[in-house]
């Protein structure tokens, strides 16, 4: 997305087992901050990583996964070159904090299929550069069973066939590096559930994604879905809630028909009471169809969100946000999830 007490047994049981395409009941939170600011901003001034306190808070609530956004350019300032040592150390330290809290980590280069503003597949950012990035990242993190690889956040402005080609190159690089880690594959068009079968970029995601190739067959498709008037998550309302729930259900049907599974990698609602029932509905669509869905990850939390940001569920002085209360209620209604 563009910037805009349940027992711990569930978290522990998931994180101590290999996360794979067969995993069920993943309950995640996007912990934003490392993708904030501009490339070149100093750490601690333009961007940050989630604190141990924040990570522990979500683990204590029963969340089982953290989707961890970061910027490709910060980690790899020059294409085909080694990672920046300081940034790689910060990323690795945060990954370990999440793992020690008993949660799965989803690594999320939050770049919209771009590097320094240039689209993957252009002369400035060849598809081979994207594959090289993932080869290096998989060498560093690809042997841990509780780390998953989200190939890219919300690709857009790229044809589905071109994105599939880039994704397949990255998948091949990950596997050639010896990693069997779970891979999350988004579509183009912001990987929206509502646009999965729409031809905004020519060939639809629904048609193009059949060409994804993984020698390990350990991948799922990642979709995002917001509930406001334009499905962007930027508006303080949930007027398209019914449409969003239907879109998610339709993608679930597509997943079943194609013998694949998916992750709802971003979704959220603002704080209005009328939006809370829609939030429960989204969780129910996912958790009542484990043959189609790996799980979900709410957007978002993180130490630097303003208190009044409409979707943010970072607690304020230990007080839960309304959406957190809603999520806990939805989670309690499926108490066996994660066990």
How many C-beta atoms lie closer than 10 Å to residue 237's C-beta?
A: 15
CB within 8 A of 44, min separation 6: which ones? none
Distance of CA 133 to the CA centre of its chain: 18
Question: What is the rounded CA–CA span in Å between residue 62 and residue 114?
Answer: 34
Parallel, antiparallel or unpaired: strands 114-115 and 118-119: antiparallel
Residues 196 and 244: beta-carbon distance below 8 Å: no
DSSP 8-state assignment for residue 316: B
41 to 36, 45, 111, 190, 238: CA distances (angstroms)? 9, 7, 16, 26, 34
Question: What is the rounded CA–CA span in Å between residue 314 and residue 222?
Answer: 23
Residues 103 and 181: beta-carbon distance below 8 Å: no
The catalytic site residues sit at 154, 266
């Amino acid at each position: 997305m563009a910037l805009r007490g349940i027992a711990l047994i569930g978290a522990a049981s998931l994180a101590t087992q290999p996360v794979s395409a067969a995993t069920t009941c993943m309950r995640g939170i996007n912990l934003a901050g490392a993708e904030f600011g501009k490339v070149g901003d100093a750490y601690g001034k333009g961007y940050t990583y989630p604190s141990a306190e924040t990570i522990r808070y979500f683990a204590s609530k029963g969340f089982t996964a953290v989707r961890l956004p970061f910027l490709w350019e910060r980690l790899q300032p020059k294409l085909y070159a080694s990672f920046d040592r300081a940034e790689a150390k910060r990323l690795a330290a945060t990954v370990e904090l999440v793992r020690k809290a008993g949660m799965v980590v989803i690594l999320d280069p939050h770049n919209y299929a771009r590097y320094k503003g240039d689209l993957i597949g252009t002369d400035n950012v060849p598809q081979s550069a994207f594959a090289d990035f993932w080869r290096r990242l998989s060498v560093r993190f690809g042997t841990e069973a509780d780390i998953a690889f989200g190939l890219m956040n919300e690709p857009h402005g790229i044809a589905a066939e071109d994105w599939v080609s880039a994704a397949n190159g990255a998948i091949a690089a990950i596997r050639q590096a010896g990693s069997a880690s779970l891979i999350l594959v988004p579509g183009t068009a912001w990987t929206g559930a509502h646009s999965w079968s729409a031809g905004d970029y020519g060939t639809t995601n629904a048609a193009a994604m059949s060409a994804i190739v993984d020698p390990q067959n350990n991948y799922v498709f990642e979709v995002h879905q917001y509930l406001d008037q334009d499905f962007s998550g930027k508006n303080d309302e949930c007027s398209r809630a019914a449409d969003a729930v239907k879109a998610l259900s339709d993608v679930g049907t597509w997943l079943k028909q194609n013998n694949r599974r998916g992750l709802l990698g971003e979704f959220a609602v603002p704080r209005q009471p009328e939006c809370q029932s829609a939030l429960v509905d989204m969780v129910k669509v996912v958790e009542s169809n484990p043959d189609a869905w790996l799980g979900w990850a709410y957007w978002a939390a993180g130490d630097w969100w303003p208190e009044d940001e409409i979707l943010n569920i970072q607690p304020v002085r230990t007080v839960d946000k309304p959406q957190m209360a809603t999520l806990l209620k939805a989670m309690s209604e499926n108490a066996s999830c994660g066990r």
